Structures are given as C-alpha cells and as structure tokens.
Structure 1
C-alpha cells in the first residue's frame, strides 16, 4: 500500500546564511535511514563547511546554480542539471550567485548529522 507523505519537516541547515531544508523522506520526517529526499532553497552567497559524508548524494538543480567544490576542482551545476558525489569524497556546496538556488538532494543511505562529517 502506498505511503502518503503529507508535508515535509523543515530541518536546520549548516552554513553562513539561512537555508531552508524541506525533508520529505529521511530520519527526521519519516524515520527512514536508508534514503533521504529533501528540497533545498538557499540564498545567494550561501556556503556550508566542507564534508566527507558516509553516503552518496545526488543533487538535481531546479533553479539557479550550485557550486560543488571537490578535491579535484569545482563544478557549477545549473538548473536542469545534476551531480552525484560519492561516499567518502570531500565536497563543499555553495550558491554564490545573487539569486541563490532551489535543488533536490537524494542521499543513499539517508543523511544524518552523524554521517555527514563536516569540516571543523
């Protein structure tokens, strides 16, 4: 039988400016640990600390652009594009453009504060 998810839970975000994380599926909203799905809205100039997570992350940009720094360089992922980052890989996300970005993040296994391993 299908499970209806009526609404997301707003989750606190890391970073220098307020970012809205709407978790639809994950540890907080549905108790799901194997997968997380969230819609992010970040303002222009937002950046978060680097991280070396224990999960693969798939990011689909809906509006604006997301900058993805990694040990081999930097990728700019624009609206209609996507990127995958692998578990154990160092990455840092930001939205330096003036209009920020909206994007969907899917993590396997699901995101938790204990498995993201943010830079100190």
Structure 2
C-alpha cells in the first residue's frame, strides 16, 4: 500500500447556479471528514446565501475576483490573494463581477451541507 493518493477523478458536485465544483478530497471522494479540497469556478453574477459554517475555510483566488461579506464587512480578493475565514463566522460568498472567478477552497474539517448552516 502506498503512502499517498493521487486524485485523477474528483467528485463533481451537482449545482443549479452555474458554479463548477470539483472536490478532490473530502467526504464524497474518499470519505475524509478531516479536510476538503475543491477546485471551483464561480460564474459572473453568482452568489450564495449567507452561512455560518462549522469549519475553517481557506480560499485562494486563481483568476478573477470574489466578494466576501464577513459579518457585514465587504472584502474583494483578486488573483493571487488568499483568505482564511474562521469557523462560526457569518459570511456570504459571491461573484458580482463580469468574469468567472476560479479558486481553490479548503475546509477543515471537511465541507458538508450539515455543517455549512446556510440561511434561507
């Protein structure tokens, strides 16, 4: 048995909002609840509802821009920038800009719909 895993077939999360989510490691790919690593593409005009996740989330912007509203403060990150948002922090993610935003998201522990606590 090898001491590493190469991920060639990430789990493509089904979405209805045009966002592309390819989860390389996490609960759906290898039943790992310790961490999730996903490659994402958020289309122009995309947004999610506010949420208060039970996990720390790290985001690295590859291209484009992404907007974060963190407890009322608006933050915009561009390519090459990254952010860590601590668990139990109210946040909203969006791309109100005119180009696709490509980024990597890492959640620790792993992302799950049961622990993201999205608002209606």
Q: Counterparts of 1:84 and 1:13 in 2: how far apart (Å)?
A: 24
Q: Counterparts of 1:27 and 1:70 in 2: how far apart (Å)?
A: 26
Q: Counterparts of 2:77 and 2:71 in 1: how far apart (Å)?
A: 16
Q: Counterparts of 1:84 and 1:44 in 2: how far apart (Å)?
A: 23
Match of 2:87 in 1: 87
Q: Counterparts of 2:15 and 2:54 in 1: how far apart (Å)?
A: 18
Structure 2-normalised TM-score? 0.94
1:57-116 C-alpha deviation (Å, 9 max, x unpaired)? 000000000100011411001000001111000000001111120000000000000000
Alignment RMSD (CA, Å): 1.1
Alignment check: 8 A CA contact 1:42 1:100 kept: yes
Q: 1:6 aligns with which of 4, 8, 19?
A: 8
Counting matched residue pairs gives 118
Runs of 4+ in structure 1 over 2 Å off: none
Any unmatched runs of 5+ in structure 2?
A: none
Displacement of 1:2 in angstroms is 1.3
Any unmatched runs of 5+ in structure 1?
A: none
